[in-house]
Structure 1
């Protein structure tokens, strides 16, 4: 991949995102707090956007701060999270809230290493919070992002979101002034165009750049 290829893909992706991205998701609201964004990331772990939409706004309205979580009974907010499944999510939210209060004066930390220290936060969640809540100059790779990067740039790591090759490429591509948009664009593109099965290659704006298109759909 040349730098020009990478830049062209990023420009194409961001242009597509401007016209087609899911800008109305509540956790993407510019006024969403870092804690609300962290809660959204917890909810989105192994869970669809549609499921999260069913509980997110009511939950953050009821528990807008780490203190409101700590002051509540875990059974109470655990019931509010119940529709999403993944029962360990309740412990993640509770223990992370305690850490934020005890170690960070009630504010979600804005450093990658500190975010990684929060209970239930892995590399993707930490990078995503940093990009979205603090405009951090980072990239984040999950299963969908790994699939897109592997297809477009001919990597053999489509099913390996934790592969260093995927992260290094994402970090190389991420535009320093629009990292949050870049992460959102990849997520939305993977959900509607470059899907796991039956990708819409014919309608893909990046088809002319994509090695998957060239090799799989000649």
Structure 2
């Protein structure tokens, strides 16, 4: 049986959450310094996370949300503690936050499987489906060095049931593979597709309550046995 494999990008193929965590550490340290050490690092990160998640409702996954969330975090503490800071502090913080979009995010260690699948076009086609702004996601896709193995790359501003309904009509036997229950797995299943959840270091936003029975794997390498048996080992 031939499958049309659809791979999520962030955290599924590349270590996006780890890259963001490093940038969050840098930004939190800067806020701590700007505030003169009057607020502990963990409190800074907690407020930032609340603000960032709330801003998704307004700004979605645009690249302006993340630096704006950091500026809002600093402004929150400035107002709360009546602290005076330099006029350039917010600009410096936003510039530091924007660096995340210039980084070359490392591959996950199990992405060698992509090349293996590419050598078996008779049993698998492959697509990347990724959420975010075109310039940011295009850079991340190209940085993987894997783009030549994929039949199509789709960059979308919304990963909801509608895009999965379109893919389910377009492809013969689609299988969505991703780490996000909210964006990858639940809407794909709701659209009538097969979906496989890969357990990764993920963002809290990716979690969602559901009532589906979901196939889960710890590594992309497990896809070989789960979907193809020994076919792609030959």
What TM-score bracket applies, with the shorter chain setting the length? under 0.3
Question: Which is higher, the Rg of structure 1 or of structure 2?
Answer: 2
Q: TM-score, normalised by structure 1?
A: 0.24
Which structure would you say has the larger RCO, counting Cα contacts within 8 Å and 6 or more residues apart?
Answer: 2
Q: TM-score, normalised by structure 2?
A: 0.23
Decide which structure has greater strand share.
Answer: 2
